[in-house]
């Protein structure tokens, strides 16, 4: 107070939505976040993108990742940044010594957990992260575009801005959501009143938080989901249980079609989805995905060690209906020609009439680094 005057606390401009609809909308986004994170890490495990010398992710690699996940680039940048903050990806040197982004061992344990548990772990990291994925694509003071995963893309006050923005949403009644057009500016005004000495990037940080919260499934239709309220109260176990009740039950079977496709009647169990992505191409996504088998996809499974018998057994075990004859023929035909032609490379050869001398050279410790192999009694390569 100053004399008789009392500062009025700014209010958030709101509209009314059905609380159950807010929860369902947010839960749908939460499910997509977990599913696309898994797809992202599977893709990077198969084809690791290069790491820039600065430690960031190249613009082309971000575009390719966004296209593969059917996402806008800002949302893809958010997933990439969250994955790195959660320790699910890191930079390692490839076989040529060049740095690339690869999933870590933590991904193997993360993917075994339930969808609700995985989501809680990701959002918990996002809440506390100083990273600012909202800057990706914008220009720095030197007029260069900010890259995802660039070390400089962080601000010490970002976690507080997220917390304060979400706390303002949590202060609203269930079903109250920021009004279209005026809701976000009123949130900025409220945070400016709460922290008047921090003007830099405040509006941007509030906008980023609102946008990212909607993408991740923390909010639905702009309103805070009921399970997110529990998460903000540090009741992770209750939040996990509440979210799990809103997510669809995963299915463990698909419908194999005569046109060499497999239709998932709902979200697939994680292990089944990963195997299907190996032996077939994802043709469409959604609550139920469509996978298409091709000679290339079957060969991909053979390349990593599957046999034709194992492929037949896998298809029979996951199909609600008998395996179509066309698909069985595709597997057999591809396996029949697999491995019949192999191409290798040899730098040089050694030939001598003295087989004993070549044998001695082949096993000599000083020649161990040459990688010698015997093609014939008198020929080494």
This prediction has a pTM of 0.77
**% residues pLDDT > 70 (the chain):** 96
Reported as a single tens digit per residue, the pLDDT across 274-331 is 889 889 988 876 667 899 999 999 999 998 889 999 999 999 999 988 999 999 999 9
Question: Sign of the C-alpha dihedral, residues 37, 43, 46, 47?
Answer: negative
Tell me which of 335 and 341 has the higher pLDDT: 335
pLDDT level of residue 269 (50, 70, 90 thresholds): confident
Q: Residue 104: pLDDT above 90? A: yes
DSSP annotation of 8: P
Q: What is the pLDDT of residue 6?
A: 53
pLDDT at 4 over 70: no
Mean pLDDT for the chain overall: 90
Look at residue 342 and tell me whether its pLDDT is greater than 80. no
Q: Quick one: pLDDT at residue 286?
A: 64
Q: Which helix (H) or strand (E) holds 375?
A: strand 374-376
pLDDT, tens digit, 9 for 90 and up, residues 136-183: 988 878 888 899 999 999 999 899 999 999 999 999 999 999 999 899
Helices (H), the chain: 19-46, 59-69, 73-85, 105-110, 115-128, 158-170, 183-194, 202-216, 226-232, 236-246, 270-279, 295-303, 308-318, 325-337, 355-362
| Phi, psi (degrees; rounded to nearest 5) at 42 | -65, -40
Phi, psi (deg, nearest 5) at residue 197: -95, 10
CB 40 within 8 A of CB 83: yes
Cβ(19)–Cβ(222) below 8 Å: no
Whether 66 and 154 have beta carbons less than 8 Å apart is answered as no
pLDDT of residue 2 exceeding 70: no
- Kindly tell me the number of DSSP H helices and DSSP E strands found in the chain: 15, 13
Element (H or E) spanning 291, and its range?
strand 290-292
For range 216-241, the mean pLDDT: 96
Please report which confidence band the pLDDT of residue 1 belongs to, taking 50, 70 and 90 as the band edges: very low
């Amino acid at each position: 107070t100053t004399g008789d005057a009392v500062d009025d606390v700014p209010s958030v401009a709101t509209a009314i939505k059905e609380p159950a609809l807010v929860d369902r909308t947010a839960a749908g986004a939460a499910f997509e976040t977990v599913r696309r994170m898994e797809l992202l890490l599977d893709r990077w495990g198969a084809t690791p993108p290069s790491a820039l010398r600065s430690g960031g992710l190249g613009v082309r690699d971000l575009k390719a990742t966004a296209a593969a996940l059917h996402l806008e680039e800002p949302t893809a940048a958010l997933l990439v940044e969250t994955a790195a903050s959660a320790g699910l990806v890191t930079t390692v040197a490839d076989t040529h010594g060049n740095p690339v982004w690869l999933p870590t061992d933590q991904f193997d344990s993360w993917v075994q957990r339930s969808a609700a548990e995985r989501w809680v772990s990701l959002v918990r990291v996002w809440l506390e992260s100083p990273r600012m994925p909202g800057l990706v694509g914008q220009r720095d003071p030197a007029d260069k575009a900010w890259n995802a995963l660039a070390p400089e893309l962080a601000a010490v006050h970002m976690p507080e801005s997220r917390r304060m923005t979400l706390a303002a949403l949590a202060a609203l009644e269930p079903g109250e959501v920021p009004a279209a057009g005026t809701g976000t500016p009123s949130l900025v005004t409220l945070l400016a009143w709460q922290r008047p000495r921090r003007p830099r990037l405040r509006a941007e940080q509030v906008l980023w938080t609102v946008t990212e919260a909607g993408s991740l499934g923390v909010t639905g239709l702009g309103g805070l989901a009921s399970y997110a309220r529990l998460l903000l109260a540090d009741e992770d176990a209750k939040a996990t249980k509440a979210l799990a009740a809103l997510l669809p039950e995963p299915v463990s079977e698909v419908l194999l079609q005569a046109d060499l496709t497999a239709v998932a009647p709902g979200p697939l169990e994680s292990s089944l989805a990963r195997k299907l992505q190996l032996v077939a191409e994802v043709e469409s996504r959604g609550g139920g995905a469509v996978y298409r088998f091709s000679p290339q996809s079957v060969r991909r499974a053979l390349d990593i060690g599957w046999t034709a018998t194992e492929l037949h057994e896998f298809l029979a075990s996951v199909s609600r209906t008998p395996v179509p004859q066309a698909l069985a023929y595709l597997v057999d035909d591809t396996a029949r020609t697999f491995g019949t032609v192999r191409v290798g490379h040899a730098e040089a050869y050694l030939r001598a009439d003295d087989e004993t001398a070549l044998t001695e050279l082949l096993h000599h410790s000083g020649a161990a680094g040459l990688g010698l192999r015997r093609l014939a009694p008198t020929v080494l390569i």
